[in-house]
Structure 1
């Protein structure tokens, strides 16, 4: 395959981005299985893990903010937050910016749980190999970010 640094025409770009989609799905599903099969302590679901990681990275957030950040429904996020709260991993606190939409934050137990998950993931990801460079990862993030942005504007009815 001839790889260039020139922008691709729309049809060629679409074909190449299809290759990305074809890999993103299996990567996500394999990671999901690892989490469900014990990467996460105490049988945390992928959804709860995602909520904990988001709060770990960003600090307290509202359920709608988490839904937008993860491009998933507020209702699904609420179920994951409820599950995490039942396990004592998150708590609801008043939101000074909005009375009716509480902030969700990690508890000490939640911080411990998500740190353990992220540490285990880090150990696995250290084994990726492939002589990947920082430029490779930066390009990957740029491509996936552009794809996500393009999909944000798509209205499916």
Structure 2
């Protein structure tokens, strides 16, 4: 195995193989989350909002949308759904009068922690004798791919 960087054309071909795996993996994970929705009562969109609030703290709807590369309107619907379930609360934003802060409630924190615990139990079953270096390499590749896509201008 060589450690030299791949030429651009070969890299592109190899990264296309990554996309071919990431797509089905993502869709299967979404299906699993949706199948478990009756357990926690969370849609995929609400879950994404709760995840961000859990890791980053209170955010505005526009911040949530930018972070997830989703429209503000879609994120607002997810926030409304989460608020209706008492998973988030809408609080005044001292930095901006017209853009409220969204933050987790105790119920929302418990719900997302339950999702994480269930997923952790599933992920413990992944085999293949993977090492920390394997996972670090995977994260590095996916991070680079995401950054490249974010840097591409689409007219």
Q: Same fold (TM over 0.5)?
A: yes
- Root-mean-square deviation over aligned CA pairs: 1.4
TM (normalized to structure 1)?
A: 0.93
Matched, 1:121 2:119: yes
- 1:39-92 deviation digits (Å, cap 9, x = unpaired): 663431111111111111111111111112212222211111111111110011
Hey, what does 2:13 align to over in structure 1?
15
TM (normalized to structure 2)?
A: 0.94
State the alpha-carbon separation in 2 of the partners of residues 15 and 112 from structure 1. 43
Matched, 1:69 2:44: no
TM superposition shift of 1:101: 1.2
* Unaligned residue ranges in structure 2 (runs of 5+): none
Q: 2:53 aligns with which of 52, 55, 71?
A: 55
Hey, what does 1:101 align to over in structure 2?
99
Mean Cα deviation higher: 67-76 or 5-14:
67-76
Runs of 4+ in 1 over 3 A off after TM superposition: none
- 1:9-54 deviation digits (Å, cap 9, x = unpaired): 1101100110111011111111101111116634311111111111
- 1:67-122 deviation digits (Å, cap 9, x = unpaired): 12212222211111111111110011111222211110001110111110011001
State the alpha-carbon separation in 2 of the partners of residues 101 and 76 from structure 1. 16
The count of residues paired between Structure 1 and Structure 2 equals 155
State the alpha-carbon separation in 2 of the partners of residues 68 and 41 from structure 1. 29
